[in-house]
Amino acid sequence: MAIVLKNVSYKHSPYDKEYFLSNVNLEIDDNKICGIIGKSGSGKTTLLEILGGINKPTDGEVLINYVDINKEDYRKNIGIVFQFPEEQFFEIDVKREIEFAAKNYHVKRKKLKEVLKVVGLEDNILTRKLDSLSNGEKRLIAIASVLIYNPKVILFDEPTIGLDYKNKKKIINLIKDLKNRYDKTIIIVSHDIDLLYLMCDDLIILSNGKIILYGDVDSVFNEIDILKKYNIQIPRILKFTNYLKDKKNIRLLPCKTINDLIKEVYRNV
């Protein structure tokens, strides 16, 4: 188990009468991609910030491999890539920006080129000014600045927001690579249900500070009645395959991409 929330309760302010999160118990497995989804105000950011150690639980513990992240030097175990991370750069050029993170976590600078390779950028980008980079490149540099200290768990808040199709695809493939080739545990907060269906192994559905569903993606999206009750959409591909099953009596294997879906339709119709 990579991350465990043990009896976690949280108030935004000590003056709040009630807990926003109340007695949450959760185990997020190692080397998985886990998505967090819910309406605006459901508590996604609050949960992400607790998982990332930015907010400390009012009660309870957050453990990574049995160690309380709020007691030990947890920073090295967790990386957070914020929404629009490129708006939070500290330095002027790429080299200094990544070195800034390296210095903070006492990592040798020679790792710089290694992390650029992981995110698919050439060494010559190191001398570029940050404000001369494209949005996609900026996002990759923000991810490289997290990878430089090699955290075990990486949290992404809306990782593809504001990116065009090509850059969105790049980030999706990179995140999958971080799990499959570099053994990271990934947690993604997103509004984009289609994206989470494509990428995640597991899914947490939040409503009003409560976890209403948690499990592997397919079993979560099987809970049609609960999803309806909380007004959570199901992925468009799944909606279509369910429609074919219910209205046309055509049963397709679960498909994650349009290409898989087209192949399945040709195979069956």
- Kindly state the number of chain residues that form the binding site for ligand ADP, as judged by CB under 6 A: 11
Instruction: Kindly state the smallest distance separating residue 45's Cβ from ligand ADP, in Å.
Output: 3
> Of the two residues 6 and 11, which places its CB atom closer to ligand ADP in the complex?
11
Three-state SS across 206-256?
EECCEEEEEEEHHHHHHCHHHHHHCCCCCCHHHHHHHHHHHHHCCCCCCCC
Q: Which two tokens stand for residue 166?
A: 């090509």
Contact residue for ligand ADP among 8, 21, 46, 82 (CB under 6 A): 46
Measured from the CB atom, is 43 or 60 closer to ligand ADP?
43
Based on CB atoms, which residue is closest to ligand ADP, 84 or 100? 84
Question: Any contact of residue 79 with ligand ADP (CB under 6 A)?
Answer: no
DSSP percent split of the chain into helix, strand, coil, nearest 5? 45, 20, 35
Residue 191: strand, helix, or coil: coil
Indicate the residue among 9 and 150 with the shorter CB distance to ligand ADP: 9
- How many angstroms separate the Cα of 99 from the Cα of each of 104, 109, 197, 257? 8, 7, 35, 38
Whole-number minimum distance, CB 48 to ligand ADP, in Å?
8
State which residue, 136 or 159, has the beta carbon closest to ligand ADP: 159
Site string for ligand ADP, 6-45 (x = CB under 6 A): ------xx------x-----------------x-xxxxxx
Residue type at position 71: K
List Cβ neighbours of 180 (8 Å cut-off, separation of 6 or more). Answer: none
List interacting residues with ligand ADP (CB under 6 A): 12-13, 20, 38, 40-46
